Amino acid sequence: MADQLIIFDTTLRDGEQSPGASMTKDEKLRIARQLERLRVDVIEAGFAASSNGDFEAVQAIAHAIKDSTVCSLSRANDRDISRAAEALKGASRARIHTFIATSPLHMEKKLRMTPEQVLEQSRLSVRFARNLCGDIEFSPEDGYRSDVDFLCRVLETVIAEGATTINVPDTVGYAVPELYGEFIRTLRERVPNSDKAVWSVHCHNDLGMAVANSLAGVKIGGARQVECTINGLGERAGNCSLEEIVMAVKTRRDYFGLDVNIDTRHIVPASRMVSQTTGFVVQPNKAVVGANAFAHASGIHQDGVLKARDTYEIMRAEDVGWSANKIVLGKLSGRNAFKQRLQELGVQLDSEADVNSAFAKFKELADRKSEIFDEDILALVSDESVTH
Ligand code: KIV
Ligand code: ZN
């Protein structure tokens, strides 16, 4: 049996950190229900200690969601961890995700702590959290820019204290795929008892490589959890996008050899819900969920797809929640695509000569108009001899 890749969605926490993407409790609850429909394994519902609003949102989601683990972020201190545990009370499955920065830059300039203090704080926090919850995730923030020897000591310590998931963030999106994958592999090889925890990747998209880095963390590094968001929403340039990582692993199962639990038919509705809720528009050429992701405009492509969809489609539009692929009729379209649209519109021209004449009119119109709609076609065939 293939290994399972755990999908950890952080749209409601890291996604909400996008400037301008804040959501109300009810909006978060609606999105959490959609994530449960998607069969996301873990939903990071928020950062309970950050505000009363976030506390209440995590609490509401913890009560409503039955099939996914519900998680709250917390800094590595007793107060934050207690707030997270309190908000998660009553959840079918709860996880506390605690983090502290481990890179020299963050420790010195932001935390103003020595490495030894950070190590001790990590130990005590995981020990404290473990007494409140059986499922503990630990993240060394800015992990990718941390000193590897020091990071190994921290991760060894938190695993010994009972952390069950080790997440290695590329907090500032600095990694490149091969190096990030090797970094994860090195940590897994060097940290004693590394097999007692699930290894996780958390990549930001500052250089546009969040998905590629995450995939390398899985393939080269052996990570078995990916942290991601719907539409790649997130701090600055965003996080690894859920729809892309899931469809990459599913479409290239031959290469990754992993299963994911996700019911992909709910991807597009989830994308629309997040876009409408946050007001963040999805670019038309965005992979999987963009309006053009399954649209064919060139005549050669349209002809190919009409003969056999695999010619230009590696995924099925309907498998990710679109109603169908889309043949966009325009000046590049061929006679075959035009004829097919006539059939779909219920228009039967009496002879091939009529089809040719309508097609010539269509081409003439398409030179003036970038996209031809069904109404345009119906108008231009109204002069031909038509049988309905
Ligand atoms: O990017 C990051 O480092 C984070 C951590 C809090 C996991 O979001
Ligand atoms: Zn992050």
From the CA of 13, how far away is ligand 2's center (Å)?
9
pLDDT tens digit sequence for 111-156: 999 999 999 999 999 999 999 999 999 999 999 999 999 999 999 9
pLDDT tens digit sequence for 226-283: 999 999 999 999 999 999 999 999 999 999 999 999 999 999 999 999 999 999 999 9
From 81, 99, 138, 144, mutation site for ligand 1 pocket: most ligand atoms within 8 A of C-beta: 99
Nearest ligand 1 atom to the CA of 14 is 8
From the CA of 141, how far away is ligand 1's center (Å)?
6
Distance CA 58, CA 315 (A): 35
Q: CA-CA distances (angstroms) from residue 96 to 71, 78, 86, 139?
A: 6, 12, 10, 11
Q: Percentage of the chain surpassing pLDDT 70?
A: 98
Average pLDDT over residues 43-65: 98
Nearest ligand 1 atom to the CA of 204 is 1
From the CA of 285, how far away is ligand 2's center (Å)?
24
Residue nearest to atom 8 of ligand 1 (CA): 14
Instruction: Look at residue 136 in the predicted model and tell me its pLDDT.
Output: 98
Which residues, 6+ apart, have CB-to-CB distance to 35 below 8 Å? 9, 11, 43, 68, 230, 270
Ligand 1, CB cutoff 6 Å, lining residues: 14, 99, 139, 141, 169, 171, 202, 204
Residue 166 pairs in a beta bridge with 138, 199
Distance CA 247, CA 229 (A): 14
From 171, 200, 206, 236, mutation site for ligand 1 pocket: most ligand atoms within 8 A of C-beta: 171
pLDDT tens digit sequence for 311-339: 999 999 999 999 877 889 999 999 999 99
Contact 15, 21 (CB under 8 A): yes
Distance CA 42, CA 40 (A): 6
Instruction: Look at residue 383 in the predicted model and tell me its pLDDT.
Output: 64
Binding site listing for Mn(2+) = 14, 202, 204, 239
Residue nearest to atom 2 of ligand 1 (CA): 171
Instruction: Look at residue 384 in the predicted model and tell me its pLDDT.
Output: 62
Q: How many CB atoms lie within 10 A of CB 135?
A: 19
pLDDT tens digit sequence for 194-223: 999 999 999 999 999 999 999 999 999 999
Binding site listing = 14, 202, 204, 239
